[in-house]
Structures are given as structure tokens and as C-alpha cells.
Amino acid sequence: MLGDALVSRIKEYSQIKRALLRELSHDCRASITYLADKIGCSRNTIVSNMKALDEELGIKYILQFTPKALVMSQNEFWTVRFKKKPQAGELGEIFAQDRGIRLVATASGGFDLLVNIITPSQQDYSQWAVKTLVRLSKYTPTVRSASVIANHLGFIRVPDDIIEQLDMRRKELDDIDKKILVLLNRDARRTFLSMANELGEDEGTIRYRFNKLIEARMINRFTIAITKPPTPYNMAFCMNFNWTQGFIDRYEKARQHYISSEKGLHAINKLQYLALTSGSFMMVGMGCFGSGGEARREVVEKHRKLFGQDGLKISYARITGVIKGCLPIRNVDVGEAFDPLVMPDKTKISEKN
């Protein structure tokens, strides 16, 4: 069952708002006319509900890049446990100037801090890691790190500084195309005219270059991120397994659990992010829940039931605040968005629904 706090908050959302969140998650550049026709209401109703959602949820209209568009060699997660806990302001100063930071969030539970960074090279990552450990040293941190091998579900917003580092020439694009990507990453609903005025180009040129970016498969979708989660308990978790015989079958049951948990159109998904990693842990995920009890039932207890014979070890913590970046929160069809694991023999564990 959903937690009482979540039930109360979900009831505040009209069917129009829920449908609007789903549509904007799939394509936040959809026109007001299209949204009105798709949802079955007037244009004025769409506009007023979008304004309300912006205020209530802190929506950011952003880009989701295709995996091949970024070509970042390191996508790293850290969980950090401090012997002496720093203040949020101190952490903000430590990470303020770092390039490539997608998310820094404080947590309470199995770890105190969650960090996600992407860098162009392993050398860049190594330099950042050493520098960061030195800056955190007075708090006596214990760090567990893992590199993302493949995303199964969800994404985390790419910071502008990563886009600015991209080599566009390999896609036969240039710096103006890059600037368009940055503007869209800040506000994916920007009009062609407003971008043209800011970049000193004519509107037709911006439209043409926009279409080139789409044809070059730089962008996977125009989507949203919610910066004010409507759920009171947001969890990050890391898992390790022994991969004993029959693990693949249990993995498929887990995938079906993720999909079935989304039955009914809620304001946002319960499971927001899941990635296969290599290092101190083998999987990392994030989810949104109505209470700590619900989170433990839906994530901890169900994974222990599924993977108990695989020597499952799971570390989890409640996300208490965001220092930098934003949480990967939106509303999508999990069945369509989930990327199944591909085994070495090229056989997919399961096909997309």
C-alpha cells in the first residue's frame, strides 16, 4: 500500500495533471495544442495546469541525450560515509566548481552522501577523485565507488559544462549547434525565435540546425526532471550479488516487479533509476516512496526475497537533500523505458514490452 502521506498528496493531483506529467516526460516540447487534443481539454486548461505543476514540483524542461552522443569514458557513482559529518553548506563549497557533476545528494542511513560524475577520460576522473578525497579528508570519509556499465531505467541530467566539452566535428556539427544544445538543456521548451535572438541567428537557421541535431541522433528525448518531489521518502540503494545458478531467471522476476509496481497512473514512478555497475557495488538505483516502511518493502524486502540465495547485500539510505544537480524524477512507462540486460552470448534476457 502507498504511505498515508503519499496518498494524501496524490489525491491533490487531478487526472489532467497526471496525464500532463506523463506526456511532458515523454516529450516536453509538445505543443499546447497537441497536449490539449491528447488529454482532451482546452488550451487554457493545459496552460494553467502546467503553471501549477511548475510551482508545485519545480519542473525543469531538459534533454535526455542518446548514450553515443556524450562519449564519456567514466560515469561514476560514489557513496560516502563520514566519521565527522559536514554541513550542507560546506559540501556545496567543495563541489561548487567541479565539472561533470550530475548529482550530489545528502543521505541518511547506509551512507551520508551520494555523488554521480561523468568525465571525458579516466585521467580526468582520477584527478577529480584525488582532489575530492583531499578536500573531504577532514571529515574522514569512507568511499565506495562503482562505474556505470549500462543504464536499465532512468537518467540523470547532464550538466551544461559536459555539453560544452563535446567535440561536435565527428557529427559534422559545430559550436553553434553546441550552443543550441546548451540552451535546450537549460529549457527544452524554448522557442526557435528566442534561441535565434540569444545566439544572433535568424529563426530559419535555428530550425535547420535543430533538425540536424535530431538527425544526428544527439537527443533521445525532450523530457522533464522534478526538483520538488511529491513523495516524502526518496531512497538510493546499492546492491551486490554472487550470481549463483538461476540468477538470470530471478533477474527477470525483478524486472517484472519493477514494471508491475507502476500499475495505475501515479504522479511519478516509484522506481526512478537503475543501472548495472562495476566496482564496490554491482547495481545502483533510486526510488520515490510514501514512507520508509514502503521503501523497505518495495526495495529491500522484495530484493532480499528475490536474490536471497545469491548472497544479496544491499545498502540503502534516504535522500535528505540535493547539493548539486537534481534527482532523476519523472513519469514514464517503465515497461517501455526499461533496457534489458544483454548477455555475452548476445541473448537478451527479455524483450521490451
Q: Is residue 34 part of a domain?
A: yes
DSSP 8-state assignment for residue 39: H
pLDDT of residue 176: 94
Q: Write out residues in the chain with pLDDT < 70, as ranges.
A: 1-13, 263-265, 341-353
Q: Is residue 105 part of a domain?
A: no
The count of structural domains within the chain is: 1
Q: Is residue 27 part of a domain?
A: yes
Q: Is residue 213 part of a domain?
A: no
Contacts of 215 (CB under 8 A, 6+ apart): none
Q: Is residue 50 part of a domain?
A: yes
Q: Is residue 36 part of a domain?
A: yes
Q: Is residue 178 part of a domain?
A: no
pLDDT of residue 3: 54
pLDDT of residue 219: 93
**Domain assignment of residue 40, given as a range:** 16-62
Domain of 45, CATH number, reads 1.10.10.10
Q: Is residue 326 part of a domain?
A: no
**According to DSSP H, which parts of the chain are helical?**
4-10, 15-26, 32-39, 43-57, 67-70, 88-95, 122-136, 160-164, 175-186, 192-199, 203-215, 247-260, 292-295, 302-307, 334-337
